Structure 1
Amino acid sequence: MGKVLVLNQDYSALSVCTVPKAFLLVYMNKAEMLAESPNDFLRTVSSEYPSPIVIRLNHYINLPYRGVVMSRHNIFKRDGNRCQYCGTHDHLTLDHVIPKSKGGKTSWDNLATACKRCNSRKGDHTPEEVDMPLRQRPFRPSFLMFIRDFSGLADETWLPYLGSKERSR
């Protein structure tokens, strides 16, 4: 079974959950189903229910700022699992764009996916010093951007609720 986009009462994206969890929220009148799968159904012995794709909570949930956790896995996702110098998918690691020895921080804005070969070639230098331009500058993705563009979970039905694909950096 797939994943379900959960919206807050104000239609802002809140999270992603499993189909059974979303169905339970709808069944218990804690959420309403905004989109359902035309092909998938939840079946009991005597009934058949549509499988939710997007649900909206009936009561507003106040959450503090929600960001994406900076992890090796999430940086690889952001960078499309390819080296930001040569474009290969093989032997990936993380590179500090500005080396730590030159004051570079371990942050979304300074970490990029690099293959072992490029990381070794760049060494303790900046990309400009060794003429190795980045395919894209590292950036911190927003929660919505991460669900929409990098998580691999987004269903076409979710897109109207996640906003346009224009990336604001």
Structure 2
Amino acid sequence: MGEHVLVLNATYEPLSTVGWQRAVVLVLDGVAEIVTADEHRRVRSPSVSVARPHVIRLLSYVRVPRGRTAPVTRRGVLTRDGHRCAYCRGHADSVDHVVPRSRPEGHHTWANLVAACRTCNGRKGNRTPEEAGMPLLANPFEPRGIGSLVVRAGATRAEWMPWLTATG
């Protein structure tokens, strides 16, 4: 997967992430400006040379509808939980439904999914944590705001932190 670039609104608020190629196109089209970039890695053409951006800022303000949430994905759950098992805190490589999907209340939602190692996931099986005697060490939640942005990107980069921590 390609590297992501943080997109800031004209007011320096984080909006989303895009691939580095899309970020370069936005800069070349005059829609955005580069805020931080890797000067050692450049995108070149016969007439233009642009540093690979880490963070770009839109030149025009974009009104953002509130209440956007990240889609529920395996990668998103693993990222939200820091690749740590919700049952043993070991390295997680799978996703577990807290309430099994075979039950009426076992929905595929942020609030019902946790990262789990394969051992714990198999041991828990088609039972609730209480039935399996495996208490949750981390509670599932739906990422919102900056958390939603980070989950969509899959990971944060050190270059993004001044903008993510300023508003989150």
RMSD: 3.1
User: Unaligned 5+ residue runs, structure 2?
Assistant: none
Q: CA deviation at 1:68?
A: 0.6
Pairwise mapping of residues 44-55 of structure 1 onto structure 2 (< 5 A)? 44-55=45-56
Identity %: 35
Number of residues of Structure 1 aligned to a counterpart in Structure 2: 166
Which has a greater percent of helix?
2
Tell me the alpha carbon deviations over residues 56-115 of structure 1, each in whole angstroms, 9 at most, x when there is no partner.
111122232321101233223322334321344477342224776374543211222334
Structure 1: how far apart are the matches of 2:137 and 2:150?
Answer: 21
Contact 2:101/2:108, CA 8 A, preserved across alignment: no
Length-normalised TM-score, structure 1:
0.76
Structure 1: which 5+ residue stretches go unaligned? none
Structure 1 pair 27/121, CA: closer, same or farther in 2 (3 Å)? closer
Relative contact order (alpha carbons < 8 A, sep ≥ 6): 1 or 2 greater?
2
Show CA shifts across 1:39-71 (max 9, x none): 211222254322222111111222323211012
TM-score norm. by structure 2 comes to 0.76
Q: Distance in 1 between matches of 2:5 and 2:91?
A: 30
Q: Which has the larger radius of gyration?
A: 1
Q: Aligned runs of 1:29-108 on 2, under 5 Å?
A: 29-64=30-65, 65-89=67-91, 92-97=94-99, 101=103, 103-108=105-110
